[in-house]
Amino acid sequence: MTTRRLLFAAVSVLAMAAGTACSANDTGSTKGGEVVIGLVAPTSGFAADYGPQAAQGLQLALAEAKNEAGGAKIKLVKVDEDVLDSSQTLERVKKLVESDGADIVVGPIFGSNQQAISAYLTQQGVPMFTMLGGDAALAGDKSAFIWPAADKLTAAPLGTYAAEDLGYKKIATLAPDYAYGHNAIDGAANAFKKAGGQVVQQQWVPLGTTDMLQYATGLDKSVDALVMWLVPTDAAAFVREYRNLGIKVPLLMFQGIFDPTFQAVGGQLDGVVGLNEYNHLLDFPANKAFTEAYDAKYHGIPNQTTAFAYTVGQNIVTALNDDDADTSVKALRKALDGKKLDTIIGPASYDSDGIAASNRTIVKATKMGTRFEWEPVKTYENVGH
Amino acid sequence: MQVVANGVALGAVLFLMASGLALLLGSMGVLNLAHGAVYMVGAYTTWTLAISEGWPLIPAVLAAGAVCAVVGVVLERLFRFIPGKPNEQILLSFGLIYVFGNLAQVIWGPVAKTPFDVAWLSGAVHVGSVAIPANRIAIAAVGFAVALLLWVVQDRTRVGAMVRAGMDDAEMTRALGINLDRVVLAVFVLGSAVAGIAGGIGGLVLGASSSQPMDVLLLALIVVVVGGIGSVPGTLAASLVIGLLDAYSRYQFPAMSSVILYLLMAGVLVLRPTGLSGRTA
């Protein structure tokens, strides 16, 4: 074969590939009346509990819809999210889309993986529905639909509540030194400043930190409160040091601490104020139905990952019902834009960029019977827009 | 002063993590990367006995040491298949990290156990403006006791002399009628028991987690590189230096704190490859 022929062949292959990509971008095929949803969440490693929890919620939502939406059957395919190596997650997502035929991706859980697969999914025209937040930059002209709100706004009500309801003037903050930690806690800090407060200290905990003593002793004790978010086990370790040292500065915890860790350390959190995205005690009919259905099937109390996988599953079914199972980003954006969604955390909606706004609940740690609970105190509506 | 107190407290934890590894490497020339996994077994065993089953802490920690001693026997048997082959030893022990980590997830679940809550070790001792949590004092006490024990065994006993002789010239030691295989087994058992005790007492501030095999290994390797192999005083000194440096950097240069330890390790490797103690394997 001559060089010219080789070049021609290469150009032809590239042109066909480009054509395929373009067609994927323009229309959302349903492959003979079937929509394939790919769930990307960890099932191995230190975050292995996320995957099964998300699968429970998503399967519950799809089962309620009888695994159908918009006249198409829904098939669920699960993929293990590699939390340490984003390139591995990207390869698995490529297989999910190209071999398993996923039309919609739910997940991943971790922001680094969302960033890693966003460009590919956008190029393929495959929508990515996040369950536990995400960077706003992944929506808009990219293919993400972000639930329950963009990271930069999701914790904002905690700052507002600290200034307006608790009357605090000066706070310190504590969060992990990576994108989600900065975005979430800066959102709360900015809201606090907007309400007239002053942020006098911000401590960022580097990834891999195992010892929290330095951050407890390093706190500026002149502040009115410490606004913090850490992953549950780190938060529990920090609170243990905090209590041992006898520090009296009130804690305001974004997310609080989830079960089962909360049940192990709840005695040290009595009266602590938090901000929940999901809470199983929320008094909405949809939440009561969900918690009952969960208990009937899995015998227990659902956590946030399960709850939001369930909600995102419901949102997808709603959109597919409205757009006759068209899975393209454009059709799903149009179907969800401004639509009032009756969710387990109350009324919610997506905007035209695919970013959700939903309720946040101020909570207080308390013991109810034999369990520690985050008791709802106040609701902030439409957080995120 | 608070930074110094924090640094010494962290140094004690680091010493407990690293001492078993340093002992094995220094005495036997075996780089057991599964050392962090043994530490994890000690942490989970202590959690099971002290938190789940309600045992007092001290018997639970000693039992964790005994369980890990048995794990040490198993590891020693495995390493016997590949004597004097460092590459194979590294591959085997690295693979064991994943085996132990996944087994821990199956047995204890994927969610990490929070730092162990022991009533008589709650609260802190206040000296002026400095506050030292009681559990850190307990860890430091155990750390220094272990350091003393290892130093006495290594430098002041007949067994220690046999270990050092075997390290210097195995053939000659065997020719003198010393059963070196039994000595190697004893060192494995002692090193693993120390790792188990470290995991148990370290659980007071670090809890138990299936990610510990890697987390602990990394910190332990830094201590061993800085301290030099086979020297208990060197390991102790390195632990304290690293603890103090880490505490100071988190206080003074928080953005750089995660890099400081690696810079220290790189500096030692370049300027003094034998570490603080100056000994070689």
Chain B residues 207-236 with a CB less than 8 Å from chain A:
207, 209-211, 215, 219
* Domains of chain A with bracketed CATH: 3-148+285-354 (3.40.50.2300), 152-276+361-383 (3.40.50.2300)
- What is the Cα–Cα distance from B20 to A229, expressed in whole angstroms? 35
In B127-176, alpha helices (H) = 134-156, 158-168, 170-175
Q: Which residue of A has its CA nearest to B210?
A: A46
Asked if A209's CB is within 8 angstroms of B122's CB, the reply is no
User: Residue B54, by phi and psi: left (phi above 0), alpha (psi -120 to 50) or beta?
Assistant: left
Single-letter residue type at A17: A
B49 close to B227: Cβ distance less than 8 angstroms: no
Q: Which residue of B has its CA nearest to A43?
A: B110
Beta strands in B50-140 (DSSP E): 124-127, 130-133
DSSP state letter for B254: G
A217 close to B269: Cβ distance less than 8 angstroms: no
Asked if A261's CB is within 8 angstroms of B124's CB, the reply is no
Q: Please choose, from the candidates A216, A192, A137, the residue with its C-alpha nearest in 3D space to the C-alpha of residue B136.
A: A216
Asked if A218's CB is within 8 angstroms of B117's CB, the reply is no
* Arithmetic mean of pLDDT, A240-265: 92
In what helix (H) or strand (E) does residue B105 lie, and over which residues does it extend? helix B86-108
b/e B150-168 (16+ beta carbons within 10 angstroms → b): bbebbeeeeebebbebbbe
- What is the Cα–Cα distance from B197 to B147, expressed in whole angstroms? 13
Q: What percent of chain A has pLDDT over 70?
A: 91
Q: Which residues of A are less than 8 Å from B9 in CB distance?
A: 213
Q: Please choose, from the candidates A92, A84, A308, A116, the residue with its C-alpha nearest in 3D space to the C-alpha of residue A208.
A: A84
- What is the Cα–Cα distance from A75 to A320, expressed in whole angstroms? 13
B190 close to B23: Cβ distance less than 8 angstroms: yes
Q: Which residues of B are less than 8 Å from A261 in CB distance?
A: 111-112, 114
How high does pLDDT run on average in chain A? Answer: 91
B51 close to B116: Cβ distance less than 8 angstroms: yes
Helix or strand or coil: residue A140? coil
Q: Six-digit token pair at A189?
A: 């800090």
d(CA A303, nearest CA chain B) in Å = 13
- What is the Cα–Cα distance from A36 to A262, expressed in whole angstroms? 36
Task: Say what the pLDDT of residue A105 is.
Answer: 98
Task: Say what the pLDDT of residue B201 is.
Answer: 95
A359 close to A154: Cβ distance less than 8 angstroms: no
Instruction: Say if A240 is an interface residue toward chain B (CB within 8 Å).
Output: yes
- What is the Cα–Cα distance from B19 to B239, expressed in whole angstroms? 9
A337 close to A319: Cβ distance less than 8 angstroms: no
A241 close to A212: Cβ distance less than 8 angstroms: yes
DSSP state letter for A46: G
- pLDDT tens, residue order, chain B (281 aa): 778 888 888 888 889 889 888 888 877 778 889 999 999 999 999 999 999 999 999 999 999 999 999 999 999 999 888 877 888 888 999 999 999 998 998 999 888 898 998 999 999 998 888 888 999 999 999 999 999 999 998 888 888 888 888 877 888 888 988 888 888 899 889 999 999 999 999 999 889 999 899 888 888 888 988 988 778 888 999 999 988 988 888 878 877 777 888 888 888 888 888 777 665 55
How confident is the model over A34-59, as pLDDT tens digits?
999 999 999 877 778 899 999 999 99
Q: Which residues pair with A95 in a beta bridge?
A: none
- What is the Cα–Cα distance from A232 to B175, expressed in whole angstroms? 57
Chain A residues 62-121 with a CB less than 8 Å from chain B:
none
- What is the Cα–Cα distance from A186 to A198, expressed in whole angstroms? 13
Q: Which residue of B has its CA nearest to A49?
A: B110
Contacts 24+ apart (CB under 8 A), A332-340: A332/A28, A332/A104, A332/A127, A332/A145, A333/A145, A336/A145
Asked if B136's CB is within 8 angstroms of A217's CB, the reply is no
Instruction: Say if A211 is an interface residue toward chain B (CB within 8 Å).
Output: yes
d(CA A296, nearest CA chain B) in Å = 23
Contacts of A33 (CB under 8 A, 6+ apart): A71, A72, A73, A325
- What is the Cα–Cα distance from B32 to B249, expressed in whole angstroms? 30
Asked if A265's CB is within 8 angstroms of B117's CB, the reply is yes
**Which 3-state string (H, E, C) describes A53-74?**
HHHHHHHHHHHHCCCEECCEEE
Q: Nearest by CB to B124, which of A210, A214, A244? A: A244
Task: Say what the pLDDT of residue A359 is.
Answer: 97
A18 has pLDDT over 70: no
Q: Which residues of B are less than 8 Å from A264 in CB distance?
A: 113-114, 117
- What is the Cα–Cα distance from B184 to A220, expressed in whole angstroms? 51
ipTM of the complex in this document: 0.81
- What is the Cα–Cα distance from B100 to B210, expressed in whole angstroms? 8
Task: Say what the pLDDT of residue B198 is.
Answer: 93
Q: Which residues of B are less than 8 Å from A219 in CB distance?
A: none
A207 has pLDDT over 80: no
Q: Nearest by CB to B206, which of A44, A207, A210? A: A210
Q: Which residue of A has its CA nearest to B7?
A: A214
Asked if B133's CB is within 8 angstroms of A241's CB, the reply is yes
Instruction: Say if B177 is an interface residue toward chain A (CB within 8 Å).
Output: no
Instruction: Say if B117 is an interface residue toward chain A (CB within 8 Å).
Output: yes
Omega within 30 of 0 (cis) for the link into A108: yes
Interface test with A, best of B1, B114, B121 (most A CBs within 10 A): B114
Task: Say what the pLDDT of residue A250 is.
Answer: 97
- State the angle between helix axes of B158-168 and B2-28 in degrees (0 to 180), rounded to the nearest 10: 60
Q: Nearest by CB to B10, which of A206, A211, A245? A: A211
Question: In the sheet where A68-69 sits, what is the strand order?
Answer: A68-69, A72-80, A34-41, A104-106, A128-129, A144-145
A310 close to A344: Cβ distance less than 8 angstroms: yes
DSSP state letter for A146: B
Instruction: Say if B115 is an interface residue toward chain A (CB within 8 Å).
Output: yes
Asked if B258's CB is within 8 angstroms of A46's CB, the reply is no
- What is the Cα–Cα distance from A259 to A34, expressed in whole angstroms? 36
Instruction: Say if B249 is an interface residue toward chain A (CB within 8 Å).
Output: no
How confident is the model over A152-163, as pLDDT tens digits?
999 999 999 999
Task: Say what the pLDDT of residue A364 is.
Answer: 97
Helix, strand, coil tally for chain A in percent (to 5): 45, 25, 30
B258 close to B250: Cβ distance less than 8 angstroms: no
* Domains of chain B with bracketed CATH: 2-271 (1.10.3470)
Instruction: Say if A210 is an interface residue toward chain B (CB within 8 Å).
Output: yes
Single-letter residue type at A317: V
Task: Say what the pLDDT of residue B280 is.
Answer: 56
A14 has pLDDT over 50: no
A286 has pLDDT over 80: yes
Interface test with A, best of B2, B16, B108, B111 (most A CBs within 10 A): B111
Q: Which residues of A are less than 8 Å from B209 in CB distance?
A: 46, 233
Q: Nearest by CB to A49, which of B111, B113, B250? A: B111
- What is the Cα–Cα distance from A171 to A252, expressed in whole angstroms? 10
- What is the Cα–Cα distance from A273 to A257, expressed in whole angstroms? 11
How confident is the model over A299-339, as pLDDT tens digits?
999 999 999 999 999 999 999 999 999 999 999 999 999 99
How far, rounded to the nearest angstrom, does the alpha carbon of residue A327 sit from its chain's CA centroid? 21
Task: Say what the pLDDT of residue A258 is.
Answer: 87
Asked if B135's CB is within 8 angstroms of A244's CB, the reply is yes
Q: Which residues of B are less than 8 Å from A215 in CB distance?
A: 250
A303 close to A262: Cβ distance less than 8 angstroms: no
